[in-house]
Chain A
C-alpha cells in the first residue's frame, strides 16, 4: 500500500520557539489517520504546513508520491478548528466562491453543491446569509465546503466540535463514507472515543516531537500489558485465590455485569491465557474473560505524562 502523505523531518520555528522538531509522519492511502496530542503540541502547525499556509523551515512533504507543490491545494480539503465563513454572504454564493477558489468550475461546483445540499437536507438554505444560520447549521455548510472539490486528502481539525450528537453522527457517517470511496482522512481531535471508533492509524505529537505512530492495533499491541479481566462464580474463593496467587499478580477491578461474581484483574506476565483459563475452570463458572486492551485514552495520558 502506498502512502498519500509523507512528512519528512519537518522543522518549524517561531522566533525562539520550536513548534515542530524534526517531525516525520507516514499516512497510508485510504486510511483514517488520527493526529493526537495535547494543546500546543504542534498539531495545528503541522496541519498548516501540509496545507501550505505556512512553510516549514526545513524538511519536506510528499503528497501522493510527489513533492508538495502549490497546485496541490486543490486536492486537499481542510476544515480548520477555528471555523469561519463570510457572515453577510449568502450560503450558495459563498459555497460557489470557495469551490471555485479550490479550482472547480462554476458548473461543476453547482452540481456538487446540489448533491451535498440534497444529501445533508439543507436545500432551502441557498439564499440565506450565514449570520441567519445557527452554529450547527453553519458547521454543516463548512463541512460541505471542505469536501465539495472531492479532495484526495481530507484534513479535519476537531471535526465534531460544535455539532449536536445527531449531526456529529451524520458527519461521522459522511467521513466514513468518503473514506470508503477512497479519500484519505487525517483528523486531529481530543475526543478519544471517536479516534477509537474511526481511526486505523494514529500518531501522537507532544511538545513538538512525535512520540508514537503506527497502526492503531500495532500501537495497542505495543502498549498491551497482558492484563486480563476475569469474572467467576465460585464457592471456594480462598482456594481459587490460593491457586492464582501462586502463578499471577492480582489486583482489584470492577466491571458491569449481571451476576454477583468475583471480579479480578490478573496480570499474566509471560504465561499463555489458556493456562489461566484452565485454572479458573477447575474452580468455578467463568462468566467473564477479557484481555484488557489499553484504550487510546490510556496510551495518550500515559505517554504524555511520562515525558
Chain B
C-alpha cells in the first residue's frame, strides 16, 4: 500500500513539474478567454452602412422602406433607370431596387428587380420581399373589399402549454437545459478520459523506452505500478481542471469588467445555454429556476463522481495496456481507434438520441453498456432515470472495470518487457495466456 502511495506521489509530481503541463495549465484559459473576447469583439462590430437606391415607378412602396443601421434607402424614383444602372456599375450604390409600373399587383409581384454587383445576403432579400408582400397583401385586401382590421383580429396564435400528469406546469426549453447540464458532465468525463488517458499511455511508453521499467517492477508489482500511474495522473488532471476553472472564471470576470465587451460566450455549449436562457427570459424566469432546483441535483453530482471514476479508470487501463504493448506513440494509433470510438459514440447518442427520447430503447441500452454508460447515463439523469437503472449501469461499469483491469494488467505485465517489436492484436491475445 505504501508503495502504491509512493508511486502515486512520484507520478503526480512528475506530471505537475513537466514544463508543457505547466504551460498548458496557465496558457489554455488565457487562450480560451482570448478567443472569447475576439469573437465577442467581432460580433459587436458594426457592419458598413450600405446605400440602396430605390426606383419605384408606382410610388406606393418606397415609403415602406425605413433606413436602419445597416441599410440606407434612397428614393431615386425620378432619376431614369439608365443613369441608375451606371451608378451601380460605378458603385455609388450597393444595389438598385427596381419596381416597374404595372397594371396590377399580380403582374407586379413577378416583375420587381434587384440589381447589384455583389450578391446580396439571403436575409436582406427576404426582408425586402417581406416588406413589398405585406404592402401588396394589404392593398389586395382593400381592393377585394375586405376589412384588414377584422382579418388581423381573426388570426389565431396558438401556444401549447406543457404540463405533467401530476398537474404541475412544465416549461418549454427545459429539455434543452437538461441536456446541456447532462451533456456538460458527460462531455467533461470524455475530455478528461481523452486528455489524461493519453498522458497515462505516454508515461508508460516513457518508462519502457527509458528501460527503467525492469528496475521498478523488480521492486513493485506491475499492477501497483499501473494503478499508481493512473491515480497519480488523474490527480494531476483534476488539479489542472480546477486551475483552469479558476483562472477561466477570473480571466473572464476581469476582461469583461475591464473592456466592457459583451462576451461572445464562445463554444457551442455556452452559446446554446445563453440562447436558451434568453429564450426563457421572456416567460417566467422564476419558474425555470424552480424547475432547475427540482432536478435531481444530488443524484447528478453523486452519479457524476461515480461515473467519472469508473469511466476514467476503465479507459485509462486500456490506455496503460496500449502503452505497455507498443514502443512509441506512433505505433499506438491502431489500438487507440477502438477506444476513442465508443467515447464519440456516447457523445453522439447523448446529443441526438437522449434529447429526443431520453428513456427510449437506444438511450437506455447505451446507458447500460459500460463503455458508453458514463457519458450517456450522465445525459439521461437530469431527465429522471429510475434508480434501479442507475444501479444496474454502475454495477456493470465497475464489473467491467475489474475485468478490464485484470486483462490490462496482464497485457501490461508482458508488454512492458517486450522491446523492439510492434505487436499485432493476435499477439496481444496470446499474451493473455502467458
Q: Say whether A43 faces chain B, with CB atoms less than 8 Å apart.
A: no
B218 x A78 contact (CB < 8 A): yes
Contact of B215 among A78, A87, A89, A100 (CB under 8 A): A78
B215 x A80 contact (CB < 8 A): yes
Residues in chain A near residue B3, CB distance under 8 A:
101
Residues 1-26 of B, flagged 1 when their CB comes within 8 A of A and 0 if not, give 00100110010001000100000000
Residues in chain A near residue B212, CB distance under 8 A:
84-86
Query: Which A residue's beta carbon lies closest to that of B2?
Result: A100
**Bound form: Cα–Cα A248–B396 in Å:** 84
Q: Say whether B91 faces chain A, with CB atoms less than 8 Å apart.
A: no
Query: Which B residue's beta carbon lies closest to that of A53?
Result: B217
A84 x B14 contact (CB < 8 A): no
**Bound form: Cα–Cα A289–B212 in Å:** 51
Q: Say whether B388 faces chain A, with CB atoms less than 8 Å apart.
A: no
**Bound form: Cα–Cα A54–B410 in Å:** 11
Residues in chain B near residue A48, CB distance under 8 A:
214, 417
Residues in chain B near residue A100, CB distance under 8 A:
6
Residues 77-92 of A, flagged 1 when their CB comes within 8 A of B and 0 if not, give 0111011111111000
- CB within 8 Å for A51 and B218 given contacts A86-B14, A97-B10: yes
Q: Say whether A102 faces chain B, with CB atoms less than 8 Å apart.
A: yes
**Bound form: Cα–Cα A172–B353 in Å:** 70
Q: Say whether B210 faces chain A, with CB atoms less than 8 Å apart.
A: yes
Q: Say whether B211 faces chain A, with CB atoms less than 8 Å apart.
A: yes
**Bound form: Cα–Cα A83–B215 in Å:** 8
Residues in chain A near residue B218, CB distance under 8 A:
51-53, 73, 76, 78, 80
Query: Which B residue's beta carbon lies closest to that of A149?
Result: B219
Q: Say whether A32 faces chain B, with CB atoms less than 8 Å apart.
A: no
B219 x A82 contact (CB < 8 A): no
A98 x B14 contact (CB < 8 A): no
Query: Which B residue's beta carbon lies closest to that of A85?
Result: B212
Query: Which B residue's beta carbon lies closest to that of A82?
Result: B211
Residues in chain B near residue A255, CB distance under 8 A:
none
Q: Say whether B63 faces chain A, with CB atoms less than 8 Å apart.
A: no
Q: Say whether B419 faces chain A, with CB atoms less than 8 Å apart.
A: yes
Q: Say whether A242 faces chain B, with CB atoms less than 8 Å apart.
A: no
* Chain B: minimal CB distance from A142 (Å): 8
**Bound form: Cα–Cα A70–B224 in Å:** 13
- CB within 8 Å for A82 and B216 given contacts A97-B10, A101-B3, A101-B6: no
Contact of B210 among A73, A74, A84 (CB under 8 A): A84
Q: Say whether A186 faces chain B, with CB atoms less than 8 Å apart.
A: no
**Bound form: Cα–Cα A303–B214 in Å:** 31
**Bound form: Cα–Cα A51–B434 in Å:** 17
Residues in chain B near residue A87, CB distance under 8 A:
210
**Bound form: Cα–Cα A52–B413 in Å:** 12
* Chain A: minimal CB distance from B215 (Å): 6
Q: Say whether B82 faces chain A, with CB atoms less than 8 Å apart.
A: no
* Chain A: minimal CB distance from B59 (Å): 82
A98 x B219 contact (CB < 8 A): yes
Q: Say whether B194 faces chain A, with CB atoms less than 8 Å apart.
A: no
* Chain B: minimal CB distance from A75 (Å): 12
- CB within 8 Å for A73 and B214 given contacts A89-B14, A101-B3: no
A15 x B433 contact (CB < 8 A): yes
Q: Say whether B213 faces chain A, with CB atoms less than 8 Å apart.
A: yes
Ranked nearest first, the 4 interchain pairs of A and B with the lowest CB-CB distance are A84-B211, A84-B212, A101-B219, A80-B214
Show 19 residue pairs from A and B whose CB-CB distance is below 8 angstroms, ordered by the A residue.
A14-B434, A15-B433, A15-B434, A48-B214, A53-B417, A73-B220, A78-B214, A78-B218, A79-B215, A82-B214, A84-B207, A84-B214, A85-B210, A86-B207, A86-B210, A88-B14, A98-B216, A101-B6, A101-B216
Not counting A15-B433, A53-B214, a sample of 8 additional A-B residue pairs whose C-beta atoms are within 8 angstroms of each other reads A70-B221, A73-B218, A74-B219, A84-B214, A85-B212, A87-B210, A88-B18, A102-B219
